[in-house]
Amino acid sequence: MTTERVVVIGCGFAGLAAARQLAGSPVEVALIDQHNFHTFLPFLYQVATAGLDPADVAYPVRSIFRRQPNVTFRHGRVTSVDLETRRVTLADATTIDYDHLVVGTGAAAGFFGIAGASEYTRPLYTLGDARRLRNDVLSTLEAADARPEDYDGGAPTFVVVGGGATGVETAGALMELLDVAVRQDRLRIDPVRTRVILLDAGDRLLAGFDEALGRYARETLDGRGVIVRLDQAVEEVTAGGVRLVGGEWIPAAAVVWAGGVTVEGTLAATLGVARGRGGRVTVESDLSLAGHPEVSVVGDAAAVPRGPGRPDPCPQLAQVAIQSGRHAGRQILRRKAGRRSEPFHYKDKGMMATIGRRAAVTQLPGGLVLRGSLGWLAWLGLHIVYLIGFRNRIIVLLNWWWRYVNWPGGPRLIDADVDVGGSQ
Amino acid sequence: MTTERVVVIGCGFAGLAAARQLAGSPVEVALIDQHNFHTFLPFLYQVATAGLDPADVAYPVRSIFRRQPNVTFRHGRVTSVDLETRRVTLADATTIDYDHLVVGTGAAAGFFGIAGASEYTRPLYTLGDARRLRNDVLSTLEAADARPEDYDGGAPTFVVVGGGATGVETAGALMELLDVAVRQDRLRIDPVRTRVILLDAGDRLLAGFDEALGRYARETLDGRGVIVRLDQAVEEVTAGGVRLVGGEWIPAAAVVWAGGVTVEGTLAATLGVARGRGGRVTVESDLSLAGHPEVSVVGDAAAVPRGPGRPDPCPQLAQVAIQSGRHAGRQILRRKAGRRSEPFHYKDKGMMATIGRRAAVTQLPGGLVLRGSLGWLAWLGLHIVYLIGFRNRIIVLLNWWWRYVNWPGGPRLIDADVDVGGSQ
């Protein structure tokens, strides 16, 4: 009898959790990703706003499974899955056959058909996104120092679209970066006229959270100088700024897209199976595909049910990805042992979002909420614990400590080959 | 009386030393660079071979001069200098007038007219170079793991051209990276057939060093598996490999260019003044331009004289850059005080090169040499001391410590948007 092969597509939280569940078991696990590292997505906004380095939030997949000989990594991009012949094809035309498949390919930025959004905004869903946004923001600050007259009102405006956790966190961190730029880096930009505007089409921030936390986030951002504008839908984005529904024009040096995600355009959308809102793949109660018990779809790619009789999908959170990936791994071992699969049950461990230094909101199950410094400490502790790899934890802590002491050297590098003006 | 303005072009070792010398003095210093960070060039090969992160060797210029209010930074690229009107022009067409000018624009990779070298090799002179080389090397190893049949002999070959310090250090570190890739990351590449070839056109390695150290470097590299080939001049480089003078063809997955540098193509070459070997600007004994006492050229850009009566130029080393930059800064203060300028005297502090883990060569003034572990410790200590910024030093040390314990997570990220095969 040959060893059964499990193919796991995607090394995000979901795929990683599935592979970890299977490490050491008598199956062969082939983990495939187009990046050779796992990205700790909850900290991406910190990379984008120069609080952390890219390497602080990324961890090589091979290192994670260094001591798990039954897990192998394949660097590549899967272009198609044939559910009938149980075979995946990669961009370089090689194929890998599977006995079990876990699809954890996540989502991508969703622009909802808004004109210009995909061309002229920066989403925050990959490490590359975060690096590009950081280069944009830092280059803009340098350009504003050198030639303030190039900007309307003599100073640049940064617009963040979307008032969910990513948007709130990014807007808060951008405001802190401006403070550092003026006070520590002595950039000659006007801290009053340099604006961070957070737009949301709805009537509150942090829509998934308790309403009081949404209000707290708004008040805290207000107090720190972020201009929060609710009930403002974006009509169009251009190279120069954002036009709101209604016609108002907001010039912007950079537009961050935190307006939502979609599964459209990702591998999961090509499986030819039923999908629901946001393009998420419809799965059975055990997270498998209908008619394909050997295939599970997990994490952001799937409409993960909360539990039996609770078919409303879970939000697209790291915890859901981790728990669903782990569940898929466990079911593979059950099927292999000839046992029936179990339904998935989501265990709500709460949600968190930072608003900036020493302020965060934490919503625990059962209605308990934390905010302010206490919420921030809870957020910090939990995220550090979940960060993969001891080295990264130490370095993240060191970076943070410095940042809180005096934000010195820091990772404020414009590390792409940024054009610094002129036509040459 | 208005404050005199010193313009310093370039934030390498030379420009930085000049600006530091002038910090706190009653002059206005405008420091200009196309990058917003200083790069610690001696560690670039470590970034290229995944031992250090880009941020470990780069430090934001604004942070360096955070507490020096008379030094301001301008992010931009100087396109021309008008020596008569004392004015520099930037790529964005803005101009800055100076009373004193320090040019520390360094050098660039010199390809000496070898066909294909500028297109198909990776030099190691900027942080971007190092990132690109790292992405190339790591991507090649992943591709060789997935499809060894794509390589001649079933395994990739890496070629390093140039047996000076950079070439020796890079070849040694590449060999160590292969060892990690096979033993820790479990890449399925054949460690015997995967080759690192170090080519030099001369008959020895480390030509600037004592001959015994060159022999030691060769023996150490040999012992570690690097194929050292002397008296091998390169005729042509293509996408697939290197052709030697004489016709031999060496297929190569990546070619590192450590074959030398030139001032041609840099700003210093556009000054319209006399230049010597390697395009280096000819300077007076006080490092100023003939007829322009208000302009100094320092570091790699200049043929820095060793001292009065010793016009043979210093080698292009970090120590020369630092000492010459400092000298130029001091002369500006002397001139301002109405005193005569002093001639530059180079103080030889020795030279070092690592060959890999726990092996380095150190040549001290007066003929004393260190090698092996002792040389390596001397190298490590001195370089860490010279690394700018406390934070970076700690993180570099931590990275190194981990690397020597077990080389765990490490910065082996393929962080560009690398194409992982296929036409999509």
CB pairs under 8 A between A and B: 184
CATH number of B108-260, picked from 3.50.50.100, 3.30.1490.440, 3.40.50.2300, 1.20.1740.10: 3.50.50.100
Summarize the confidence of residues A62-88 as an average pLDDT: 95
C-beta of residue A352 within 8 angstroms of C-beta of residue A382: yes
Judging by DSSP bridges, how do beta strands A87-90 and A95-97 pair with one another?
Answer: antiparallel
Q: Which residue has the tokens 């070619």?
A: B255
A414 and B75 within 8 Å at the Cβ level: the answer is yes
Give residue A421's pLDDT band: very low, low, confident or very high (50, 70, 90). Answer: very low
The token duo for B233 is 């001049």
- A395: closest chain B residue by CA: B395
Residue A311 distance to chain B (closest CA, Å): 36
Could you read off the pLDDT of B309-364 as tens digits, one per residue?
A: 887 899 999 999 999 999 999 999 999 999 999 999 999 988 889 887 778 888 88
Put simply, whether B183 touches A (Cβ < 8 Å) is no
- Between B94, B186, B398, which is nearest A62 by CB? B186
Mean pLDDT of B72-90: 97
The answer to whether A391 faces chain B, any CB pair under 8 Å, is yes
Inspect the interface and report whether the beta carbons of B66 and A186 lie closer than 8 Å: yes
Cβ of B92 within 8 Å of Cβ of A187? The answer is no
- Residue A381 pLDDT exceeds 90: no
- pLDDT tops 50 at residue B423: no
Chain A's closest residue to B77, CA to CA, is A420
- Computed over every residue of chain B, the mean pLDDT equals 90
pLDDT digits (tens, 9 = 90+) for A201-249: 999 999 989 999 999 999 999 999 999 999 999 999 999 999 999 999 9
pLDDT score recorded for residue A424: 30
User: Chain B residue closest to A399 (CA)?
Assistant: B391
The reported pLDDT for the residue numbered B270 is 97
Residues B191, B181: Cα–Cα separation, whole Å: 9
Distance CA A366, CA A351 (A): 12
Query: In angstroms, rounded to a whole number, what is the distance separating the alpha carbons of residues B145 and B141?
Result: 6
C-alpha–C-alpha distance, residues A296 and A17, integer Å: 13
Q: Give me the residues of A, 330-359, that contact B with CB < 8 A.
A: none
Alpha-carbon span B134 to B54, nearest angstrom? 10
Q: CA of B423, closest CA in chain A: separation in Å?
A: 7
Contact check, Cβ <8 Å, A63/B410: yes
CB contact under 8 A, A391 and B402: yes
- B34 CB within 8 Å of a chain A CB: yes
- Cα(B52)–Cα(B50) distance, integer angstroms: 6
- Tell me which residue in B36, B63, B398 faces A414 most closely, judged by beta carbons: B36
Q: Where in chain A is the domain with CATH 3.50.50.100?
A: 112-259
Rounded mean pLDDT, B25-38:
96
Nearest CA to CA, how far is A66 from chain B (Å)? 6
Q: Tell me what the pLDDT averaged over chain A comes to.
A: 90
Predicted confidence (pLDDT) per residue in B113-164, tens digit: 999 999 999 999 999 999 999 999 999 999 999 999 999 888 999 999 999 9
Q: How sure is the predictor about B52, in pLDDT bands with cuts at 50, 70 and 90?
A: confident
Residues of chain B with CATH 3.50.50.60: 5-107+263-336
pLDDT at A409: 46
Neighboring chain B residues of A93 at a CB cutoff of 8 Å: 422
What are the start-end ranges of the H helices in B270-371? 318-336
Partner-chain residue, chosen from A53, A186, A416, that has the shortest CB–CB distance to B55: A53
Phi, psi of B385 (to 5 degrees): -60, -40
Q: Which of B55, B139, B408 sits opposite A391 (nearest CB)?
A: B408
- What's the confidence (pLDDT) of residue A56? 78
Which structure tokens are listed for B321? 């850059």
Position A422 confidence tier, pLDDT thresholds 50, 70, 90: very low
3-state secondary structure A309-346: CEEEECCCCHHHHHHHHHHHHHHHHHHHCCCCCCCCCC
Pairwise CB contact (< 8 Å): A63 & B414: no
Mean pLDDT score, B70-90: 97
Q: What is the pLDDT of residue B190?
A: 87
**Mapping DSSP to helix (H, G, I), strand (E, B) and coil, where does residue A379 land?**
helix
Best to test chain B binding among A413, A419, A423 (most B CBs inside 10 Å): A413
The minimum CA-CA distance between B347 and chain A, rounded to whole Å, is 30
**Which range is least confidently modeled, A7-11, A24-28, B38-42?**
B38-42
Tell me how far apart the alpha carbons of residues B72 and A146 are, in angstroms, rounded to a whole number.
Answer: 11
Most A CBs within 10 Å: which of B11, B39, B66, B125, as the mutation test of the A interface?
B66
- In the numeric block, which tokens belong to residue B65? 């001069």
Q: Is A422 exposed, middle or buried (0-12, 13-18, 19+ CB in 10 A)?
A: middle
Which residues in chain B are classed under CATH 3.50.50.100? Answer: 108-260
- C-alpha B137/C-alpha B158 separation (Å) is 8
Residues of B serving a catalytic function are: 169
Say what the pLDDT of residue B364 is. 85
A101 membership: H or E segment, kind and range: strand A100-103
**Which of these ranges, A64-78, A98-112, A171-185, B103-117, has the smallest mean pLDDT?**
A171-185
The answer to whether the beta carbons of residues B257 and B45 sit under 8 Å apart is no
Fold of domain A112-259: FAD/NAD(P)-binding domain (3.50.50)
Using CB atoms, pick whichever of A145, A392, A408 lies closest to residue B63: A408
Range name among A46-55, A312-321, B340-349 with the lowest pLDDT average: A46-55
B54 interfaces chain A, CB cutoff of 8 Å: yes
- 3-class SS of residue B157: strand
Q: How confident is the model at residue B258 (pLDDT cuts 50, 70, 90)?
A: very high
Per-residue model confidence (pLDDT) at position B424: 30
Long-range contacts of A380-386 (CB under 8 A, 24+ apart): A382/A352, A383/A42, A383/A43, A383/A352, A386/A40, A386/A318
Confidence of residue B2 (pLDDT cuts 50, 70, 90): confident
Confidence of residue B421 (pLDDT cuts 50, 70, 90): very low
Out of B53, B79, B409, the one facing A424 most closely (by C-beta) is B79
Assess B394–A contact: CB distance below 8 Å, yes or no: yes
| pLDDT at residue B56 in the model | 78
Q: Break chain A down into helix, strand, coil percent, rounded to 5.
A: 35, 25, 40
Q: Select from B147, B158, B126 the least CA-distant residue to B255.
A: B158
**Using a CB-CB distance cutoff of 8 angstroms, which residues of chain B are in contact with residue A62?**
184-187, 412
What's domain B5-107+263-336's superfamily in CATH?
Answer: FAD/NAD(P)-binding domain (3.50.50.60)
Q: Closest Cα of chain A to B310: distance in Å?
A: 40
Q: What is the mean pLDDT of residues A57-78?
A: 92
Distance CA B27, CA B335 (A): 12
Instruction: Kindly tell me if the per-residue pLDDT of B7 is higher than 60.
Output: yes
Q: Which of A312-316, B46-50, B80-84 has the highest mean pLDDT?
A: B80-84
The answer to whether A190 and A154 have CB atoms below 8 angstroms apart is yes
Q: Region A386-397: what's the mean pLDDT?
A: 61
> pLDDT digit string (tens) for A318-370?
999 999 999 999 999 999 999 999 999 999 988 889 887 778 888 888 878 88
Q: What is the mean pLDDT of residues B71-93?
A: 97
With bands split at pLDDT 50, 70 and 90, how would you rate the model's confidence at A417?
low
- What pLDDT sits at residue B121? 96
Which 145-164 residues of chain B touch chain A by CB within 8 A? 145-147
This complex has an ipTM of: 0.88
Pick from B35, B67, B63: which is nearest to A408 by CA?
A: B63
Left (φ > 0), alpha (ψ -120 to 50) or beta: where does B325 sit?
A: alpha
